[in-house]
């Protein structure tokens, strides 16, 4: 039986003859796909379980090639309600910001070339003055993410020396990023002070020795500790660091450039506010509340920023032209401490009111056939969402969501149908109900979302 089934297997060259000549894949990859598929069918044949003929096998392999020929990265509709979703690339970018950036990036750019002097320039100059002015710092630097910013700062000031950290600030964020691990990977020695819930200024004072290279203050951006707690203010810590002539590095994490409360959002530590405390170096993410591309931003006192810039590790962490051009565009969306352009898509989505979202949801329902609404059990409900990526922790933001209670299929199957459709939509399941939250759905995606629902 298995011998007859093995005879149904096509050769690699036989399948290649059926491959579309316009397929956008390297021939080596096509060969690999074919061989992988044939080996799987061969295993079935040897077990006597192959139920397909040669043509059917070839057709299935061609279908798999066609599937893999489509780009893996796709534009999706984020129905989770989480605006700064790490799995979806964190801060979303507006079409205008991307268009402005791509206009500059076609061909060549003056990344490290001074057009006035005709000599070599510095890539940091494209955003240094603007970012420093917004944050009120003497100088700034951009690297490829905040973890890199923290690591290179500690390595610059305390390689082979001690870094003092409060036990209450030894945080872990997504992806197993832990402060103690970052200190050790910076080739520094971790010196813990205080307790989990209470740390005093005298704890820092007692820990300072001739071996101390830096003090690290880490913002607990993804959780809040309540009850019998005590932590040293940044101002007091900065005064101590200045007195002892030890650099104070403040890892701010999220990095808000505007007052969130004035935008109707939960409060978040302002970068400019932290600069005023006297901290020597402040690090934060460029792709969270700031709304930019993946990057780590370093602001602070000129002499310390310059030292970081001269660190040999900087070359391994420096940003490319894409990141710098996009960051420059995003920074230009900030007009004052209270005013931000609507081109900053992250802040635009976060500040869209629940009332607006409910009206948007009602419009969606009016454009969906009543039978479809009944079959999928769709209704519009008020909801609460988180900003995401450790930004604005604990506090939730009012939103609106489409609620699905399908009659004929399971909730898990419905969720997969949405994810794998021609217009990928990712929602979330809670209990025996599927939701598509509207908080992170772009206004220009509403028509596509309606189509995606109708396609189910």
| pLDDT at residue 199 in the model | 86
Per-residue pLDDT tens digits for 49-82: 888 999 999 999 999 999 999 989 999 999 999 9
Which contacts qualify for 269-273: CB closer than 8 Å, 24 or more apart? Answer: 269/219, 271/134, 271/135, 271/299, 272/134, 272/135, 272/136, 272/337
Alpha carbons 392 and 386: distance in angstroms, whole number: 8
How much of the chain, in percent, has pLDDT values that exceed 90? 78
Question: Burial, 262: exposed, middle or buried (Cβ in 10 Å; 0-12, 13-18, 19+)?
Answer: exposed
Alpha carbons 196 and 207: distance in angstroms, whole number: 16
Alpha carbons 428 and 270: distance in angstroms, whole number: 31
Average pLDDT, stretch 140-154?
96
Q: Quick one: pLDDT band at residue 196, thresholds 50, 70, 90?
A: confident
Q: Are 187 and 163 in contact (CB under 8 A)?
A: no
Q: Are 84 and 41 in contact (CB under 8 A)?
A: no
Q: Tell me the fold of 95-341.
A: 3.40.640
pTM for the model: 0.90
Nearest to 186 by CA among 57, 90, 317: 317
Alpha carbons 130 and 118: distance in angstroms, whole number: 23
DSSP 409: S
Question: 426-440 b/e with 16+ CB inside 10 Å = b?
Answer: bbeeeeebbbbbbbb
Q: Are 380 and 368 in contact (CB under 8 A)?
A: no
Q: Which of 165-179, 280-294, 402-416 has the lowest mean pLDDT?
A: 165-179
Q: Where are the beta strands (DSSP E) in 260-372?
A: 281-285, 296-300
DSSP 123: G
DSSP 86: G
Q: Are 420 and 384 in contact (CB under 8 A)?
A: no
Six token digits for residue 280: 């020597």
* CATH 3.90.1150.180 residue ranges for the chain: 77-86+349-455
Give the contacts of 453 (CB within 8 A, at least 6 positions apart). Answer: 364, 368, 372, 376, 378, 402
Helices marked H in 17-116: 27-46, 54-69, 95-105
Residues in the chain: 456
Alpha carbons 238 and 277: distance in angstroms, whole number: 7
Per-residue pLDDT tens digits for 213-260: 999 998 875 555 555 557 778 999 999 999 999 999 999 988 899 998
Per-residue pLDDT tens digits for 13-40: 999 999 988 899 999 999 999 999 999 9
Average pLDDT, stretch 167-175?
72
Give the contacts of 157 (CB within 8 A, at least 6 positions apart). Answer: 213, 214, 247, 249, 304, 307
* CATH 3.40.640.10 residue ranges for the chain: 95-341
Six token digits for residue 338: 């209270």
DSSP 10: P
| pLDDT at residue 377 in the model | 95
For 77-86+349-455, which CATH class? alpha beta
- Say whether 117 sits in a helix, a strand or coil: coil
Six token digits for residue 208: 């300072």
pLDDT averaged over every residue in the chain: 92
Alpha carbons 390 and 209: distance in angstroms, whole number: 34
| pLDDT at residue 268 in the model | 87
Per-residue pLDDT tens digits for 328-348: 999 999 998 888 999 999 999
Nearest to 269 by CA among 285, 278, 258: 258
Cα dihedral 124, 127, 130, 136 sign: negative
Q: Are 361 and 438 in contact (CB under 8 A)?
A: yes
Q: Quick one: pLDDT band at residue 389, thresholds 50, 70, 90?
A: low
């Amino acid at each position: 039986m298995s011998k007859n089934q093995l005879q149904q297997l096509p050769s690699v060259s036989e399948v290649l003859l059926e491959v579309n000549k316009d397929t956008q894949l390297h021939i080596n990859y096509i060969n690999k796909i074919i061989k992988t598929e044939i080996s799987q069918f061969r295993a079935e044949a040897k077990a006597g379980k192959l139920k397909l003929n040669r043509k059917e096998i070839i057709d299935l392999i061609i279908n798999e090639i066609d599937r893999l020929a489509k780009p893996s990265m796709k534009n999706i509709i984020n129905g989770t309600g989480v605006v700064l979703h790490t799995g979806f690339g964190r801060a979303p970018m507006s079409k205008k910001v991307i268009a402005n950036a791509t206009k500059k990036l076609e061909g060549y750019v003056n990344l490290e070339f001074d057009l006035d002097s005709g000599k070599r320039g510095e890539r940091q100059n494209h955003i240094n003055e603007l970012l420093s002015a917004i944050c009120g710092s003497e100088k700034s630097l951009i690297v490829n993410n905040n973890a890199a910013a923290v690591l290179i700062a500690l390595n610059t000031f305390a390689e082979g020396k001690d870094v003092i950290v409060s036990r209450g600030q030894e945080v872990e964020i997504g992806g197993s990023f832990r402060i103690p691990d970052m200190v050790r990977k910076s080739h520094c020695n971790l010196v813990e002070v205080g307790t989990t819930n209470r740390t005093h200024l005298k704890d820092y004072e007692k820990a300072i020795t001739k071996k101390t290279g830096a003090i690290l203050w880490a913002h607990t951006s993804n959780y809040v500790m309540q009850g019998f707690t005590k932590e040293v203010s940044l101002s007091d810590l900065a005064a101590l660091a200045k007195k002892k002539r030890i650099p104070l590095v403040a890892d701010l994490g999220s990095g808000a450039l505007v007052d969130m409360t004035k935008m109707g959002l939960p409060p978040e530590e302002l970068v400019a506010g932290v600069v005023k405390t006297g901290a020597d170096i402040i690090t934060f993410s460029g792709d969270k509340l700031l709304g930019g591309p993946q990057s780590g931003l370093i602001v602070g006192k000129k002499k310390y920023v310059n030292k970081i810039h001269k660190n040999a590790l900087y070359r391994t962490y420096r940003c490319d032209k894409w990141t710098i051009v996009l960051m420059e565009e995003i920074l230009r969306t900030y007009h004052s401490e209270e005013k931000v352009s609507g081109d900053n898509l992250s802040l635009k989505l976060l500040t869209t009111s629940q009332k607006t979202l409910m009206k948007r949801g009602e419009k969606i329902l009016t454009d969906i056939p009543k039978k479809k609404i009944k079959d999928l059990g769709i209704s519009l409900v008020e909801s609460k969402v988180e900003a995401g990526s450790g930004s604005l922790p604990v506090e939730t933001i009012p939103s609106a969501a489409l609620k699905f209670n399908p009659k004929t299929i399971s909730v898990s199957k419905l969720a997969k149908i949405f994810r794998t459709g021609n217009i990928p939509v990712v929602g979330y399941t809670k209990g025996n109900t599927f939701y598509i939250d509207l908080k992170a759905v772009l206004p220009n995606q509403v028509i596509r979302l309606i189509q995606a629902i109708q396609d189910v």
